[in-house]
Amino acid sequence: MGIKENLSKIRMIIKETAIKASRNPEDIKLEAVSKFHTEEEIIEAIDNSQVLFGENRVQEANQKFTDIYKQFPNTNLHIIGSLQRNKVKDAVKIASCIESVDRLELMDEIEKQCTKLNKTISVLFELHTGEESKSGFENFDKLFEAVSLCAEGKYPHLIPNGFMTMAPLSSDEQNVRLSFITLRESANRIKKEFPELPLKELSMGMSNDFKLAIKEGSTIVRIGTAIFGPRDYSK
């Protein structure tokens, strides 16, 4: 199947799953994860009404999306991969949101680079909830501290828009579900403390587990393989 068919199938599954979970399908955004895929493939998705994309490597994203923005200025890109400090400058130029904020040092650098550009940027705080992945704030307290500092006004160029996690690559559904529940409950506890902050997004769910994520409250599903097919890491 092609990108067009895959997109319409995924959109249908999102809708059906949302309705089954008594949720409004409009509350769930589909983010097409285009890492390792070409500009042509991304444009095919755009031609089929896809607006939101995710990339995990800044340099690759920069190469592809600088060009794409010229042709399709409404395109929206999120950075989803663990981010080194020296990549932040380029990341804040090309992305509308950094989903993989996982340490204060990174927040300091995003603030610094955004100040230079006189730009505000959305961020999601990533929580480590799975065993295999190493990314994300280690625990609830560290996550809480990061959001508190935003609430205190230390990061005026960051818009704290919500939370992100990657579930373990487990075939055990219970483990995956637990990871999503952990993110949702952590988010709810933090939102209660800081009702003045937006904190509205829960970015969770990938090709293999997005239905489960929607049942557990996801508002952004990040889907690569099920849209673009397998990635060729040799490229």
C-alpha dist (Å) from residue 93 to 35, 107, 195, 218: 18, 15, 29, 27
Closer residue to ligand PLP in complex, CB, 4/57: 57
Instruction: Check: CB of residue 194 under 8 Å from CB of residue 147.
Output: yes
Closer residue to ligand PLP in complex, CB, 184/222: 222
Report the interface residues with ligand PLP, using CB under 6 A. Answer: 33, 35, 56, 80-81, 166, 206-208, 222-226
Minimum Å gap between C-beta 223 and ligand PLP is 5
Shortest-Cβ-distance residue relative to ligand PLP: 224
Minimum Å gap between C-beta 134 and ligand PLP is 12
CB-based burial label for 174 (10 Å; 0-12, 13-18, 19+): exposed
Q: Report the distance separating Cα 214 and Cα 204, nearest Å.
A: 8
Which amino acid is it at 210?
A: F
Closer residue to ligand PLP in complex, CB, 36/155: 36
Minimum Å gap between C-beta 196 and ligand PLP is 28
Minimum Å gap between C-beta 209 and ligand PLP is 9
Closer residue to ligand PLP in complex, CB, 175/208: 208
Closer residue to ligand PLP in complex, CB, 147/206: 206
Minimum Å gap between C-beta 194 and ligand PLP is 25
- 214 conformational bin, left if phi > 0, alpha if psi -120 to 50, beta if neither: alpha
Contacts of 124 (CB under 8 A, 6+ apart): 97, 98, 99, 100, 101, 161, 162, 163, 164, 201, 203
Minimum Å gap between C-beta 57 and ligand PLP is 9
C-alpha dist (Å) from residue 106 to 113, 117, 158, 162: 11, 17, 11, 16
Number of continuous H segments (helices) and E segments (strands) in the chain? 9, 8
Closer residue to ligand PLP in complex, CB, 155/228: 228
